[in-house]
Amino acid sequence: MPDYLPHTDADVATMLAFLGLSDIDELFSAVPHALRLAGGLALASGEPEPDVLAHMGALAGANRAADLVCFAGAGAYDHEVPAVVRALAGRSEFVTAYTPYQPEVAQGVLQAVFEYQTMVSRLSGLPVANASLYDGASSLVEAVNLGAAASGRGTVWVSSGVHPHWRACLRTFSRGSGHRIVEIPLVDGVSAWPHDPALRGDHEPPGVVVVAYPNYLGCLEDLAAVRRIADAHGSTMVVAQDPVAAGLLRSPGDWGADVVVGEGQAFGMPLSFGGPYLGLFSCTMAQVRRLPGRLVGETVDVAGRRAYVTTLRAREQDIRREKATSNVCTNQTLMAVTAAIQLGWLGTQGLAEVALRCARGTRYLRDGALGMSGVSPLTGDTPVVRELALRTAVPARTVIDRMAAEGFLAGVALDELTGEGGDGSADASAAEHGLLVAVTERRTLAELNAYLVALEKAVRP
Partner 1 sequence: MTTEVPPDGTAGGHDLPGGREPGGRAPGGRAWSAPLMGRAEEPTLFELSEPGRHSWQLRTTGVPEWSAEELLPAAHRRHEPVPLAEVSERDLVAHFTRLSHRQFSVDLGAYPLGSCTMKYNPKVCDTVASLPGLAGVHPAAPAQMSQGWLALLVELEEALCAVTGMAAATFQPAAGAAGELTGLLLMRAYHEARDDRRRRVIIPDSAHGTNPASVRIGGYEVTTVPSDDRGCVDLAALRSVLDRDVAGIMLTNPNTLGLFEEGIEEIAAAVHDVGGLLYYDGANLNAILGVVRPGDMGFDIVHLNLHKTFATPHGGGGPGAGPVAVGEHLVDFLPGPRPVRLLHEAQESAASNGTGAAAYGWAMPPRSIGRVHSWHGNALVLARALTYIRVHGGDGLRRVAERAVLNANWLRARLSSAYDVPFDRPCMHEAVLAASTLKRRYGVRALDVAKRLLEEGFHAPTVYFPLVVDEALMVEPTETESLQTLEALADAFERIATDAAEPAGAEAAHAAPRTTPVGRLDEARAARVLVPTFDARADVGKQGASGP
Rank residues 233 and 418 by Cβ distance to partner 1 and give the closer one.
418
- Cα(292)–Cα(147) distance, integer angstroms: 11
State the nearest-atom distance from the C-beta of 80 to partner 1, in Å: 6
CB of 187 to partner 1, least distance (A): 18
Nearer to partner 1, 84 or 198 (CB): 84
C-beta of 162: minimal distance to partner 1 in Å? 12
Q: What are 261's strand-pairing partners?
A: 240, 281
Q: Could you give the CA distance from residue 424 to residue 190 in angstroms, rounded to a whole number?
A: 12
For residue 59, what are the CA distances in angstroms to 51, 70, 276? 13, 20, 19
Choice between 138 and 155, CB closer to partner 1 = 138
Give dist(CA 241, CA 234) in Å, integer.
22
Compare residues 59 and 461 and give the one whose CB is closer to partner 1.
59
CB of 200 or CB of 446, closer to partner 1: 446
- Please confirm whether the linkage preceding 383 is cis (ω < 30° from 0): no
Q: Which helix (H) or strand (E) holds 208?
A: strand 208-213
Minimum CB separation of residue 201 from partner 1 in Å reads 26
Please, which residues have CB within 8 angstroms of residue 242's CB and are 6 or more apart in sequence?
212, 213, 214, 262, 263, 385, 386
Question: Cβ 142 to partner 1, closest distance in Å?
Answer: 10
Element (H, E) at 443: none
Which residues 6+ apart lie within 8 Å of 73 measured at CB? 386, 387, 411, 412, 436, 437, 438, 440
Q: How far is the CB of 67 from partner 1 (least distance, A)?
A: 8
Residue 41 or 200: which CB sits closer to partner 1? 41
- Beta carbons of 353 and 79 less than 8 angstroms apart: no
CB of residue 56 to partner 1, shortest distance in Å: 5
Q: Which residue from 439, 446, 434 is spatially nearest to 409, judged by alpha carbons?
A: 439
> Least CB distance from residue 199 to partner 1, whole Å?
26
> What minimum distance in Å lies between the beta carbon of 147 and partner 1?
15
List all residues 6 or more positions away from 447 whose beta carbon is below 8 Å from its beta carbon: 69
Residue 293 near residue 104, CB atoms below 8 Å: no
CB atoms inside a 10 Å sphere around CB 85? 22
Q: Which is nearer to partner 1, 155 or 251 (CB)?
A: 251
With beta carbons less than 8 A apart as the criterion, state whether 145 and 133 touch. Answer: no
Q: 233 or 366: whose CB is closer to partner 1?
A: 366
Nearer to partner 1, 233 or 265 (CB): 265
Q: Could you tell me which residues are beta bridge partners of residue 241?
A: 213, 262
